[in-house]
Amino acid sequence: MQGYQLTFFTQCNRHHGGFPLGERLLQKARILALSGAPLIAAAQGFGHVSKTHSARFFELVKQSIMVMMARSSADIVCLFQRLCDEVVDVFYVRAPIKFSMTGES
């Protein structure tokens, strides 16, 4: 199947609608019945202004996280429409991919 790998990048301390932004992105995907999206916490990274973010005790709120999914073009359009309607501000990368499950033709 042809589609996109969509990866959102944010921090643990960013919120939208009363929830951490990473969890909110997962909720949106679940509401739209888009299965298979992990939330991944990074041990260390740096943001767009080159400031380091790490998972040390006093810096956990600034820990970088990613939400990643592989979806069809139609699914991505639905998700982005929902995010635009709710004015969700988050950095993302969208890359064209081919995806499938092993054992399927």
Express each pLDDT in 33-58 by its tens digit. 988 899 988 776 666 666 665 655 55
Own/partner pairs for 50-57, CB < 8 Å, 24+ apart?
53/11
- Domains of the chain in sequence order: 2-98 (3.30.70.120)
Closest to 65 measured CA to CA, from 14, 100, 3, 5:
14
Angle (nearest 5°) at CA 48 between 44 and 54: 15
What is the pLDDT at residue 42?
78
What is the pLDDT at residue 47?
62
Q: What is the pTM of this model?
A: 0.82
Which residue positions in the chain have pLDDT lower than 50?
A: none
